[in-house]
Chains A and B, each alone.
Chain A
């Protein structure tokens, strides 16, 4: 059974710092891994999608890496800004028939202090 965990559960950093969010998953048979952002009371914003054959994806100040064999992904945020404050969710889509759904982690709540 696929399980996704995220560390830390919450993080508070001063503006301008670089930071890393961690995601782990138990079954490496995945199609892809996706990082989302969720603001309070809002929907999901897709940040980065990494296919299983890829090692990393970059978008602006965001860089996500994937090590499928060890079941880990990291989301690196450079030069953090107060507008980055949100909950960041990691999600994997598995290959096995019973896993044709996205499994979400519990999220990391990020606060960037001005």
Chain B
């Protein structure tokens, strides 16, 4: 079974540009989460989808970040316009809907560098 995949693995853009990160969860996982680790900080939660609905977006830093999950399958996280402080590693995770005790499976992350 394929794990959580993320694309691209690394993105280098200039300040002010737009970048879109993609996450493909494990097939059948209704829960999808975005996290990020910026330089020197802990990994922080950004938001949580249940199918196509945003369940919790309390961690989104500002309105330059837009997450979508049309159709309840893959998700995209767009940063527009990107700022220097957005540099870091963006992780996606997914979890089955049924049961609260099951594990979140993390993807390999996308390393974003804003110059």
Contact = CB atoms under 8 A, between A and B. Distances in A.
Interface of A: 31-32, 34, 36, 41-44, 46, 49, 51-52, 89, 91, 93, 95, 98, 100-107
B103 A34 contact: yes
Instruction: Give 7 nearest A-B pairs by CB, closest first.
Output: A43-B108, A104-B43, A101-B45, A43-B109, A44-B106, A106-B42, A31-B101
Contacts of B74: none
A107 B44 CA distance: 13
Considering residues B35, B106, B109, which has the most beta carbons from chain A within 10 angstroms of its beta carbon?
B106
Q: Kindly state the interface size class of chain B when it binds its partner.
A: 20 to 34
B108 A100 contact: no
Contacts of A52: 101
Given A100-B55, A104-B43, A43 B106 contact: yes
Contacts of B55: 100
A102 B104 contact: yes
A101 B109 contact: no
A104 B35 CA distance: 10
18 contacts: A31-B100, A32-B101, A34-B103, A36-B106, A43-B108, A43-B109, A51-B101, A89-B43, A95-B100, A98-B58, A100-B31, A100-B55, A101-B45, A102-B33, A103-B45, A104-B35, A104-B43, A106-B42
